[in-house]
Amino acid sequence: MPTWTALTTLPGKAPAEALGAALDLLDPAPYGIGVFEIEDGSGLWEVGGYFEAAPDDTALALLAAAHGAKVFAISELPDTDWVAHVQRELAPVEAGRFFLYGSHDAEKLPEDRVGLLIEAAMAFGTGHHGTTAGCLEAFDAELSAGLAPAAVADIGCGTAVLAMAAAKAWPDMPVVAGDIDPVAVEVAEANLQANDLAGRVVCVTAAGTDDPAIAEGAPYGLVFANILKGPLIELAPDLVGITAQNGRIILAGLLNDQAEDVAAAYAAQGCREIARLVRGDWTILTFERG
């Protein structure tokens, strides 16, 4: 069955979220809504609706005008088995000792690698994105250097790839993973189940570090935060605050030209940059809390 998308852009998180909420009131209503910051430093946000029937272009035009957004671009998508398509396109990813794969590639898992199973239906955060794979490489380097924290936190966990890597590296280590999106938390829990890690990671719906489970587990010897430049800078005091003395903070979600601003924010919190990995257009930063 064909589907339709309606996409627009506008400046600012709050206006974008307001437009996303307004989309949900349309008739026919979208079956899915996405609100994302465009990672190019422009400050623009993309708002999209996904429809099972052709949306009302007049209603969409009025919504765009009322919220200061560009006119919605409406497209009809072909009837495609996207999961099968993604399975064909996503090859396994090797990042240090870690091997990320879908069940369709299970036979390719090397015996000497730590396998992380992520299904193609849950493609966001599979590790094919440079930031996720880069985080795993940075983590692998810390493991090789002998890092042994008392606890681990994955803030903005998405599908919990990083939290799962920590749980597999240290079977007895407390690990907590949080995301502001409750759907992401559900996906994280499903991934943990698929990797025989159910109960090993505490998953919570939280904005940044704002959850009792995250607070109670602090201080953490390792904190992951694979988010975006703006939230990383805003959360710098909180992320440093939950990190143990001499603990590590691995940050990602940064375009290369955004890294210096983020590095400055953490240096201002008394952290020392100990590693910087560039993977394509993305930079991954590792800090030690002073």
Q: What is the pLDDT of residues 198-233, one digit of tens each?
A: 999 999 999 999 999 999 999 999 999 998 899 999
Quick check: 44 and 38 in contact, CB under 8 A?
A: yes
Q: Over 90: is that where the pLDDT of 81 sits?
A: no
Tell me: do 67 and 147 sit in the same domain: no
Q: pTM score, two decimals?
A: 0.72
Instruction: Identify the domain containing residue 14 by its residue range.
Output: 3-77
pLDDT at 176: 98
Phi, psi of 247 (to 5 degrees): -75, 165
Alpha-carbon span 79 to 151, nearest angstrom: 46
In a domain, 99, yes or no: no
Phi, psi of 8 (to 5 degrees): -150, 170
pLDDT per residue as tens digits for the range 114-146: 999 886 544 444 454 578 889 999 999 999 999
pLDDT at 218: 96
Tell me: do 48 and 173 sit in the same domain: no
CATH number of the domain to which 14 belongs:
3.30.70
pLDDT per residue as tens digits for the range 36-76: 888 677 889 999 998 988 899 999 999 999 999 999 999 98
Task: Locate 112 and state its tokens.
Answer: 């000497």
Alpha-carbon span 217 to 121, nearest angstrom: 31
Among 77, 95, 117, the domain boundary falls at 77
In a domain, 97, yes or no: no
In a domain, 67, yes or no: yes
CATH number of the domain to which 172 belongs:
3.40.50.150
Tell me: do 248 and 153 sit in the same domain: yes
Among 58, 77, 96, the domain boundary falls at 77
User: In the structure, what pLDDT confidence band is assigned to residue 164 with cuts at 50, 70 and 90?
Assistant: very high
Peptide bond between residue 92 and the one before it cis (omega within 30 degrees of 0): no
In a domain, 85, yes or no: no
Tell me: do 206 and 272 sit in the same domain: yes
Mean pLDDT of the chain: 89
Q: Over 60: is that where the pLDDT of 86 sits?
A: no
